[in-house]
Amino acid sequence: MIGKWRRSFLLINYTDAFFDKSGVSFNDSNKRTLKLITADGYYTNAALLLSDQCEHSIKCAVYDGIGKTTFQSRKEFSGSVLKQMDDAYAYISLSNKFRSTFEGLRRVEAPDYPEYAIREALSCLLSA
C-alpha cells in the first residue's frame, strides 16, 4: 500500500526497543535521515515496514522428510520486520538439529545448518 501514514496511526515500539537495546539513537532526526518521516511529519512506507502494524509476514515451516506435502510444524510471524526476523531466527534455530561426530575420543557437535547460513537466508528474504 502506497501512502503517507499519520504519526498517531503507526506504533514503532519494537523498532524503538531494538535500537535502544543496540545503543543506537533512533529519535525523530534519525528517522528523518532514514526517510521514515517526511518533511510534513508523516511516516513513509519504509516506516510501515518497521512498525508494529506491518502488513507483511514471514512464514516458516518444518517438513516431514524431503517432500513438501506434510508439515511437522509451521508458524507465521507478524509485526515489525525486525521482530519477524528475530522470531523467525529463533524458530529456525529451535528446528536446527545438532549432529555429533567423533575425532578420536573427542565428540564434536555441529548444527545441520550453520548460524551464518540462517542469517544470510533471512536477510536475503527481506531483500528479495
Segments of the chain with pLDDT less than 70: 1-8, 128
Supply the DSSP string of 61-109, one letter for each residue: EEESSSSSS-EEEEEEE-SSHHHHHHHHHHHHHHH--EEEEEETTEEEE
Looking at residue 128, what is its pLDDT? Answer: 58
Looking at residue 63, what is its pLDDT? Answer: 87
Looking at residue 66, what is its pLDDT? Answer: 79
The three cell numbers locating residue 54: 506491518
Task: Tell the residue number behind the cell numbers 540462517, with chain if given.
Answer: 118
Specify the pTM.
0.81
Looking at residue 48, what is its pLDDT? Answer: 92
Radius of gyration of the chain (CA): 19
pLDDT in tens, 35-71: 999 888 888 999 999 999 999 999 999 888 777 788 8
Map residue 125 onto helix, strand or coil: helix
Looking at residue 1, what is its pLDDT? Answer: 45
